[in-house]
Structure 1
């Protein structure tokens, strides 16, 4: 589990070769897009959480601050979701000027309910067998 709330943590994640390169690219892109006012601490604008294979529901809920790993969870709904192939990106707008991005690994060992919910929203097309 990654929980990034400041620029130092983001820098550490972006330079950590053990973190999936696709995730590092997504984190770098989103921080670059959102962190436009360098006078404010990043943690006042954005939190990034990466749910990885093996993370428990309890750990996910603790990092996010509310339950997101079961149906009808008592949570604010995500504003939008992007399917990046190996990662799903859930965006939560929590206040007028603070948001959270939750990246969810598309991996068989990722929390099954959260992964199921991501796949349920994703608009993946499969190759036709008649092509």
Structure 2
């Protein structure tokens, strides 16, 4: 499925993931700055991925690890710093958490930042991780 908005798109087509750009984006994160390309490639293969693009230029990413029946874990949500402040992160998270494939499942994520972004999508803070969201 592909969603479009003002020249941007979000696609869950795995072939849209630009692995080298994703590595560069993750290198600027606190949680995956040292993740190697093989690990990134494996994580893509074993997840449902969402690519955010400006036309064909890869500018953001999120993935979901799920058993497709009871549990979905949101991971690696990232938007290129040059594209932040445009509502793209909100749109990406909204698209990910409202995907019908995990409706009714326990949804979780772990984060040290962007709590307000995730709270607006039903996640809440816990001592161990950010949020449990049964959708």
TM bin, normalised by shorter chain, reads 0.3 to 0.5
The alignment's TM-score, normalised by the length of structure 1, stands at 0.36
Structure with bigger strand share is 2
Please tell me whether Structure 1 or Structure 2 has the larger radius of gyration of its CA atoms.
1
The alignment's TM-score, normalised by the length of structure 2, stands at 0.36
Taking CA–CA contacts closer than 8 Å with sequence separation of 6 or more, which of the two structures ends up with the larger relative contact order?
1
